[in-house]
Chain A
Amino acid sequence: MKHARIRYQGQVHHVLVNDDHSVTVAGQRLAADAVEWLPPAQGTVFALGLNYADHAAELAFKAPTEPLVFLKSPSTLTGHNAVSVRPDNVTYMHYECELVVIIGKTARNVSRAQAMDYVAGYSVCNDYAVRDFLENYYRPNLRVKNRDTLTPIGPWWVDKADVADPANLTLRTWVNGKLTQEGNTSDMVFDIPFLIEYLSSFMTLSPGDMIATGTPEGLADVVPGDEVVVEVEGVGRLVNRIVSEAEYEASGNRS
Chain B
Amino acid sequence: MARGRILLNRQARGVTLQADGSLLLDNGNPLLDEPQWLAPVSGTVYGAALNHRSLTESLAAAFEDAPYKAAPRAPVLFIKTSNTQIGHGAAIPFPAGVARIQAGGALGVVIGKQARKVSAAEALQYVEGYTVVNEVSLPEDSFYRPAVKAKCRDGFCPIGPWLVPADGIAPETLEVETYVNGVLRETNRCADLLRSVPQLIADVSAFMTLQPGDLLIAGTPLRSVNLQPADVVTVAIAGIGRLENPVLAEEAAR
**Do the beta carbons of A137 and B208 come within 8 Å of each other?**
no
Nearest-neighbour CB distance to chain A for B186, whole angstroms, equals 23
* Count, chain B residues at interface, CB 8 A: 38
CA distance A72 to B152 in the complex (A): 13
**Do the beta carbons of B143 and A137 come within 8 Å of each other?**
yes
Q: 8 Å CB contacts to B: which residues of A198-236?
A: 202-206
Q: 8 Å CB contacts to B: which residues of A60-90?
A: 68-76, 87
Which secondary structure dominates where chain B touches chain A? loop
Give the most central of B69, B73, B74, B81: most A CB within 10 Å: B81
**Do the beta carbons of A203 and B211 come within 8 Å of each other?**
no
**Do the beta carbons of A202 and B149 come within 8 Å of each other?**
yes
**Do the beta carbons of B74 and A146 come within 8 Å of each other?**
no
**Do the beta carbons of A147 and B49 come within 8 Å of each other?**
no
CA distance A66 to B82 in the complex (A): 23
Residue interface mask B21-50, A partner, CB < 8 A = 1: 000000000000000000000011010011
- B72 contacts which of A44, A75, A135, A204 (Cβ < 8 Å)? A135
Residue interface mask B74-115, A partner, CB < 8 A = 1: 111111011110000000000100000000000000000000
Contacts of A71 in B (CB 8 A): 78-79, 81, 146, 148, 152
Nearest-neighbour CB distance to chain A for B28, whole angstroms, equals 31
* Count, chain A residues at interface, CB 8 A: 33
Nearest-neighbour CB distance to chain A for B238, whole angstroms, equals 31
The answer, yes or no, to whether B67 is at the interface (CB within 8 Å) is yes
**Do the beta carbons of B153 and A203 come within 8 Å of each other?**
yes
**Do the beta carbons of B209 and A133 come within 8 Å of each other?**
no
Q: 8 Å CB contacts to B: which residues of A119-162?
A: 133, 135-143, 146-148
CA distance A133 to B75 in the complex (A): 11
CA distance A68 to B145 in the complex (A): 8
- B81 contacts which of A68, A76, A146, A203 (Cβ < 8 Å)? A203
**Do the beta carbons of A137 and B149 come within 8 Å of each other?**
no
CA distance A135 to B83 in the complex (A): 28
Contacts of B73 in A (CB 8 A): 135
Residues of B within 8 A of A (CB): 43-44, 46, 49-50, 67-70, 72-79, 81-84, 95, 116, 143-149, 152-154, 207-211
User: 23 A–B contact pairs at CB < 8 A?
Assistant: A46-B148, A69-B146, A69-B149, A71-B146, A71-B152, A73-B44, A75-B208, A75-B209, A75-B211, A135-B76, A137-B50, A138-B78, A138-B144, A139-B145, A142-B207, A143-B75, A143-B207, A147-B207, A202-B152, A202-B153, A203-B81, A203-B83, A203-B153
| Additional 14 contacts, C-beta under 8 A, given A74-B44, A146-B207, A203-B148 | A43-B82, A68-B145, A69-B149, A71-B146, A73-B44, A75-B44, A135-B73, A135-B76, A140-B146, A141-B76, A142-B207, A147-B207, A148-B208, A203-B84
